[in-house]
Structure 1
Amino acid sequence: MQYHVEGMDCASCVGKIETALARMPGVTDVQVNFATEKLELTLAPDATTQRSDVEKTIKRLGFGITDYTDKKTAADTGSDDNHQDVLLAEKRWWQTLKGKQVVGLGILMSVAYVISLLFPAYGVWVFAVAVLAGVYSFARKAAVLAMSGSPFSIEMLMTVAALGALIIGEAEEAAAVVFLFSVGELLESVAADRARAGIRALASLAPKTAVLLDAQGGQRNVPAASLQVNDMVLVRPGDKVSADGVITQGTSSLDDSPITGESIPVVKALGDKVFAGSINLDGALQVRVQKTASDNTIARIIELVEEAQASKAPTARFIEKFSRYYTPTVMALALLVIIIPPLVMGGAWATWLYRGLALLLIACPCALVLSTPAAVASGLAVGARRGLLIKGGSALEIIGRVNTVAFDKTGTLTEGKPRVTDVVAFTDGRTNSQGGDKVLALFASVESDSNHPLANAIVEHAKTAGLVIPKAFNARATAGKAVHATVAERALAIGSPVYAAAEALLSAKQQAQIEALQNEGKTVSVLFDEKSREALGLVALRDELREDAQQGVAQLKAMGVRSVMLTGDNRLTANALASHLDIEWRAELLPEDKLRLLSEMKDNTEIAMVGDGINDAPALATADVGIAMGGGTDVAIETADVALLKSRVTDVAQLIALSRATLSNIHQNVIFALGLKGVFLITTVLGMTGLWIAVLADTGATVLVTLNALRLLRFKGARPLVTAPKN
């Protein structure tokens, strides 16, 4: 069962709901996500508890409840109900239930003050009426919470304090307590709504409608949620792309920033993939749908962010346990303050009762409990906005403590696509000359029927150069050694330098050229005539570094984080690339070798692993934090704790900087919450502060902790470094 719960103002509300539902027969697996206001639970089919009982319990606790499936369907289809939800979310504070309560209590308080001035004899009674009217809703909720297993709620503490003050004749101050508490509740509600704005912003990216094309080319508008796989849709200039899919017709620039955070528009054409929510800038596109609305990129991002915000960070779990003991301890202290001074020191009962009631208000742990989840929610939201998809508060905390980052090479530090870097014609010794073009055309001809990545790179390079590729006949391969074909009646072969040295005649100068290229980390293929054994030329390829790889590693080094490159490639290639990056390296590693190295490094340090392939999944799972490049395989992304949607190396440093900023924010919040309460505990016992100050100390601390957490939304990221390229 899934529900949308409205009215949760702080993380302690989660505990109240979970405690109440856990006591109901047949109800298990209760999970409440404060950030998304989502409730999930399992109800046994044969349980005496019914769905209506669950809903009644939530309502009695003072929260609104809506079936989550109905709400989500309305959101997907863009129905009027969803429009109403948006309107509700945009209500001004005075239009909400809590806002109306504050306004009503304010008017009641003002009337009471006026009457007390005009008719002093009746002032106490008027304030008493104001207190009883204002405290009723809180007392009712406190009673329900107590019966549901949460006797130490803030509502209970406030009710006892207000009624206690009324009993000892402090009616005016009791009224101030009720009013200030209501204002604090309203401020918490406004702050909580701000914290949830990130999820609403993500949800708003999803397109609501689509232009569906039928077999005859006709067009009609349909809800985007109704699109099925293989449907054809039209995306006009200025439209949002209505579904994840592939372009079947047209070319256009697309703004992918809503999905990946990449600010520069990307030109896409036939065969390129597009994402739902991207903005089509200039050309009309026809797109074949590949994923339904519930499975597209935006839906997956929202789901992962919701799951991340539902998972509690280690610090949050510790503080929740701490607060369970903290509140009863402070309540016991308040009782001792009320009893001991009058009995032992002969103090006035009224005075010490008043101070004990003030301590009750300070006992509320709202600010403390909220200190971590508020900061984590902001950190996750700003990460998602920057294309850093972090799967939980635990991962967000651990990342900031990482001091070693292990990078896979292919597809992570490099582009993952081999490119031709050198073409050498042995017949005339010239590179990229007339002879070089002829040799390249022959290379492409022999490789034209192969689907090997190196072959594809050679053929693509020849086409880009505008060369005419001769027709090849009798193409065949010698597994792991060479490819053969007949071109212009010549029997040609392309093989590795080792194979070519055995089958062809290579001069010392040619061998030296090959070795020089290999020492630069390049893969060399040699073309030769099989009959004459004459070497005709060579092509060198290399999987080039990403543009930001050097910058990303330099940023990590500046932050005191060690970087290590782990690769299955040969040592020459690894050494050549590592020298450009100024990075440690380990080469010729099998997947199990990576696991062994990570396990060894984990003994002495917190380590993150960055990868993108299926073979990286075990290593990503083994590391303290697994980070997947967004352009990688689904297996790697699902296994990892973090996905970098922009596939940028510099985002690893941004991720660590964000985590460190979040941890710092959490520490500030905890120190502030405990410090403020500690100060007012002392001043209250000494009689320097009273009830209404105690209320401000509690609600004010909660609001300020939330506002401090919201500062993370302005996170600027790690400072970029300007590094000179290595020669």
Structure 2
Amino acid sequence: MQAMAHTSRYKITGMDCASCAAKIETALKRIDGIGEVAVSVTNGTLTVGHGERFSVDKVERQVRGLGYGITEDGAASMHSERISTENAHGDAEWWRNRRTLLTVFCGLALASAFVAGRLFPAMEGPAFLAALAVGLLPVAFRAINAARFGTPFSIEMLMTIAAVGAVVIGAEEEAAAVVFLFLVGEALEGIAAARARRSIRGLASLVPKSAILEVDGSSWSVDAASLKVGNVVIVRPGDRVPADGVVVEGTSEIDEAPVTGESVAKAKTVGDDVFAGTINAIGVLRVRVTAAAEDNTIARVVKLVEEAQESKAPTQRFIDRFSSYYTPAVVLFAALVAVVPPLTAGEPWQEWIYKGLAVLLIGCPCALVISTPAAIAAGLSAGARRGLLIKGGAVLESMGRVTAVAFDKTGTLTEGRPRVTDVFAADGREHRLVSMVAALEQGSSHPLAVALVDHARAVQAPVPPAFAASAFPGEGVGGNVGGNEIFVGAPKAASRRANLSDSIVSQIAELNAQGKTVSVALVDGEVAGYVALRDEPRTDAKEALARLRDEGIRTIMLTGDNRTTAAAVAAGLGIEVRAEMMPEDKQKVIRELQAAGLVVAKVGDGINDAPALAAADIGIAMGGGTDVALETGDAAALHGRVVDVPDMIDLSRTTMFNIRQNITIALGLKAIFLVTTVIGVTGLWPAILADTGATVLVTANAMRLLRWRPR
């Protein structure tokens, strides 16, 4: 297809299933000067690629002729938050929606015709014809336009043929009732589609409209969308955080439940990240903005999920292809039912035409077409609202087939930063030892030093000032604390400055075997004790790995860390391990697992694991809403929980089970009513109820996924 120099974007209202999008795409591709056409049912948008010679009016006429509303969006220059907020309200409320109003008018006309027929029997036929016209004329208009624009076998066309045919054989009352039931079904589909459309975009409304900006000691309220990177905002207790940022002053607890679903608030202090839309529970915080409104975590999640929902799943692509053959086949079969028995066996024409019309209604593919995309959209939305970003229907389907998961260690299975695990003081005064060690380490950005200072704060050990502090590269640090000469460093460096007893050496060796790093403290040339540190496993790692094993999924740790540390962490978690691996080695292991017939998911931080993430069947990035977590891989565990991985697999399997239920409902009801119609048990009313009922059941069943919760 020829590349188009320009792109125009529109908001579309009134779409409720994939067949709506297909009709619009088919119609617009017939217009000269238009290249690529992308219609999003989920987002209610239309994107058109075109050249210089392009008629906006023609596009709008085509879309309105098909029965949908259209307005220019101008979204090419808008940020995702604004798009999401507008789209969330792009369709009128259901009681003001024009399809709902048409349904109400048609129902009133049908009720009036029924009353008129009872009061004035001679007026019954004309009254029902008038009621039929109220509902059928708009449907027929859409059917004719769809046929003109390349979709002859639309649901509207099947309905129009069936209704006109019913009138021809004298079944005006049934024809009017059937059209009314069809409109009821359309209205219910629209309500369900709008609910699905709003489900993920509801995240956008979590970000407050205003923020308290602080500049040079003064503060005032500003539009949150106007905040820029580097601005400092004040977040009071009870306020929602207006932007992604980092705490520069204050200590509080942040309720992340609106975004993550976590019930327990998280403690935040200077240096901690906070995310837009979360709620400050206790203290006043000053937060430096790290992402503008269009780039905050929520806006990017909404944008990525909207894009993911337009990526058709394999099942959906198959059903779309199947429907393109299925609908014409149903029309042909209905025609044969109507004419073959009268022509070959002398059966009554009116009876078999009636049955043929009923078969035509039963064959409407709406329920089948919507069965997969409705479930996929609901599944993606349910996951995103709980921090599980899955990029597309194909990924969501594939996730449930995973048979092996390969994890990175640092920052994935572990916290990614060392913590103090053991403290030994020769004189038994551990609090004093921690104070002296932290005094020397304060001010250093080295991860071990930060961990030691954090531990002192956690145990409320005072941190006195250190004097004449100096670093010994590769060995440790020294200085004067409280009048004592202190050295804190590696055991080998300490052994060159003081005599380490056999007992101390033995204890250090045991700690090293557990994957821990030991820093020895000397006071005035004598061993005062030691502190051991290790990058500890995440609190949920053991539970997550156990769940995967229970599902029969193989788990393996791939790490560049040394064998001793890796083996110690793996033993505690009960996971297979490969250590001292370069990025290319990790990729090689992924290939080996795939060659053994396994479907492999790779979980990592998205940077040094990039080759393995790309090689895996599914790459899952771990992160706290970072660019890497959002942009790398096929899925992202936004909140960095290991348990998110089995949750993703559970969501995939739940969604696929829902899809299988939907297909069974759609085809099963049609099969039952097809048989009962041909043998004369059911007629037009049950036929349309079968189609409308199946569509509503399928949509309602898919919407149940919005209530999915991780175990």
Q: Same fold (TM over 0.5)?
A: yes
Larger CA deviation: 641-650 vs 691-700 = 641-650
Question: What residue in structure 2 maps to residue 453 of structure 1?
Answer: 447
For the pair 1:202 / 2:203, whether they are aligned, the reply is: yes
Any idea what the Cα deviations from partners look like across 1:528-554, whole Å, max 9, x if unmatched? 79x98x877543211111111111112
Q: Note the C-alpha offset of 1:231.
A: 2.8
- Correspondence list, 1:253-292, <5 A: 253-292=253-292
- Correspondence list, 1:357-436, <5 A: 357-424=357-424, 428=426, 433-434=428-429
For the pair 1:66 / 2:60, whether they are aligned, the reply is: no
- Correspondence list, 1:92-241, <5 A: 92-93=94-95, 95-215=96-216, 217-219=218-220, 221-241=221-241
Q: Note the C-alpha offset of 1:270.
A: 3.3
| RMSD, aligned CA | 3.0
Any idea what the Cα deviations from partners look like across 1:23-78, whole Å, max 9, x if unmatched? 2223233222212212222222x23x322322222111111112334799799689
Q: Note the C-alpha offset of 1:342.
A: 2.0
Any idea what the Cα deviations from partners look like across 1:154-174, whole Å, max 9, x if unmatched? 000000111111112222221
2:302 is paired with a residue whose SS is helix
Q: Note the C-alpha offset of 1:585.
A: 1.5
For the pair 1:4 / 2:6, whether they are aligned, the reply is: no
- Correspondence list, 1:331-346, <5 A: 331-346=331-346
The 8 Å contact of residues 612 and 631 in structure 1, kept in 2 or not, is answered as: no
Cα distance change of structure 1 residues 496 and 22 upon mapping to structure 2, 3 Å threshold: farther
Cα distance change of structure 1 residues 526 and 71 upon mapping to structure 2, 3 Å threshold: closer
Cα distance change of structure 1 residues 271 and 319 upon mapping to structure 2, 3 Å threshold: same
For the pair 1:661 / 2:662, whether they are aligned, the reply is: no
Ranges in structure 1 where 5+ consecutive residues have no aligned partner: 719-727
The 8 Å contact of residues 419 and 544 in structure 1, kept in 2 or not, is answered as: yes
AA matched with 1:234: I
Q: Note the C-alpha offset of 1:520.
A: 1.5
The 8 Å contact of residues 62 and 141 in structure 1, kept in 2 or not, is answered as: yes
1:263 is paired with a residue whose SS is coil
For the pair 1:475 / 2:477, whether they are aligned, the reply is: no
Q: Distance in 2 between matches of 1:506 and 1:70?
A: 69
Question: What residue in structure 1 maps to residue 42 of structure 2?
Answer: 35
AA matched with 2:464: V
Cα distance change of structure 1 residues 423 and 134 upon mapping to structure 2, 3 Å threshold: closer
Cα distance change of structure 1 residues 237 and 635 upon mapping to structure 2, 3 Å threshold: closer
The 8 Å contact of residues 404 and 555 in structure 2, kept in 1 or not, is answered as: yes
Cα distance change of structure 1 residues 127 and 444 upon mapping to structure 2, 3 Å threshold: closer
- Correspondence list, 1:704-723, <5 A: 704-718=697-711
AA matched with 1:176: A
1:416 is paired with a residue whose SS is coil
Cα distance change of structure 1 residues 259 and 619 upon mapping to structure 2, 3 Å threshold: same
1:539 is paired with a residue whose SS is strand
Q: Distance in 2 between matches of 1:164 and 1:313?
A: 38
Q: Distance in 1 between matches of 2:288 and 2:441?
A: 31
For the pair 1:631 / 2:632, whether they are aligned, the reply is: no
Any idea what the Cα deviations from partners look like across 1:405-452, whole Å, max 9, x if unmatched? 211111111111111223446xx4x6xx23x66765665566567533
Any idea what the Cα deviations from partners look like across 1:605-663, whole Å, max 9, x if unmatched? 11212222521233222222222223375324311222223322222222211111111
1:287 is paired with a residue whose SS is strand
Q: Distance in 1 between matches of 2:92 and 2:323?
A: 33
Question: What residue in structure 2 maps to residue 721 of structure 1?
Answer: none
Q: Distance in 2 between matches of 1:450 and 1:542?
A: 18
Larger CA deviation: 518-527 vs 396-405 = 518-527
Q: Distance in 1 between matches of 2:130 and 2:394?
A: 49
1:649 is paired with a residue whose SS is coil
Q: Distance in 1 between matches of 2:607 and 2:115?
A: 74
Q: Distance in 2 between matches of 1:461 and 1:183?
A: 64
Question: What residue in structure 1 maps to residue 62 of structure 2?
Answer: 57
For the pair 1:681 / 2:674, whether they are aligned, the reply is: yes
- Correspondence list, 1:291-310, <5 A: 291-310=291-310
Any idea what the Cα deviations from partners look like across 1:252-305, whole Å, max 9, x if unmatched? 332222223222222333333322212223333333322221111111111122
Question: What residue in structure 1 maps to residue 580 of structure 2?
Answer: 588
Cα distance change of structure 1 residues 77 and 20 upon mapping to structure 2, 3 Å threshold: closer
The 8 Å contact of residues 88 and 198 in structure 2, kept in 1 or not, is answered as: no
Larger CA deviation: 654-663 vs 457-466 = 457-466
The 8 Å contact of residues 301 and 630 in structure 2, kept in 1 or not, is answered as: no
For the pair 1:575 / 2:567, whether they are aligned, the reply is: yes
Q: Distance in 1 between matches of 2:76 and 2:124?
A: 49
AA matched with 1:543: D
Q: Distance in 1 between matches of 2:469 and 2:245?
A: 37
Q: Distance in 2 between matches of 1:706 and 1:406?
A: 36
Question: What residue in structure 2 maps to residue 543 of structure 1?
Answer: 535
AA matched with 1:655: M
The 8 Å contact of residues 631 and 647 in structure 1, kept in 2 or not, is answered as: yes
Q: Note the C-alpha offset of 1:664.
A: 0.4
Q: Distance in 2 between matches of 1:673 and 1:108?
A: 30
Q: Distance in 1 between matches of 2:436 and 2:176?
A: 92
The 8 Å contact of residues 441 and 469 in structure 1, kept in 2 or not, is answered as: no
Any idea what the Cα deviations from partners look like across 1:114-169, whole Å, max 9, x if unmatched? 33334434422332233233211111101111111111100000001111111122
Cα distance change of structure 1 residues 75 and 537 upon mapping to structure 2, 3 Å threshold: closer
Cα distance change of structure 1 residues 210 and 511 upon mapping to structure 2, 3 Å threshold: closer
The 8 Å contact of residues 439 and 464 in structure 2, kept in 1 or not, is answered as: no
Larger CA deviation: 365-374 vs 503-512 = 503-512
Residue of 681, 690, 693 corresponding to 1:697: 690
Cα distance change of structure 1 residues 200 and 630 upon mapping to structure 2, 3 Å threshold: same
Larger CA deviation: 304-313 vs 620-629 = 620-629
AA matched with 1:600: E
Cα distance change of structure 1 residues 218 and 505 upon mapping to structure 2, 3 Å threshold: closer
Aligned length: 699
2:340 is paired with a residue whose SS is helix
AA matched with 2:18: A
Q: Distance in 1 between matches of 2:542 and 2:557?
A: 12
1:589 is paired with a residue whose SS is coil
The 8 Å contact of residues 246 and 290 in structure 1, kept in 2 or not, is answered as: yes
The 8 Å contact of residues 237 and 280 in structure 1, kept in 2 or not, is answered as: yes
2:590 is paired with a residue whose SS is helix
AA matched with 2:11: H
Q: Distance in 1 between matches of 2:230 and 2:445?
A: 27
Q: Distance in 1 between matches of 2:439 and 2:88?
A: 60
- Under a length normalisation based on structure 1, what TM-score does the superposition of the two structures give? 0.89
2:378 is paired with a residue whose SS is helix
Q: Note the C-alpha offset of 1:7.
A: 0.4
The 8 Å contact of residues 444 and 462 in structure 1, kept in 2 or not, is answered as: yes
Ranges in structure 2 where 5+ consecutive residues have no aligned partner: 1-7
The 8 Å contact of residues 445 and 472 in structure 1, kept in 2 or not, is answered as: no
Question: What residue in structure 1 maps to residue 93 of structure 2?
Answer: 91
AA matched with 2:45: K
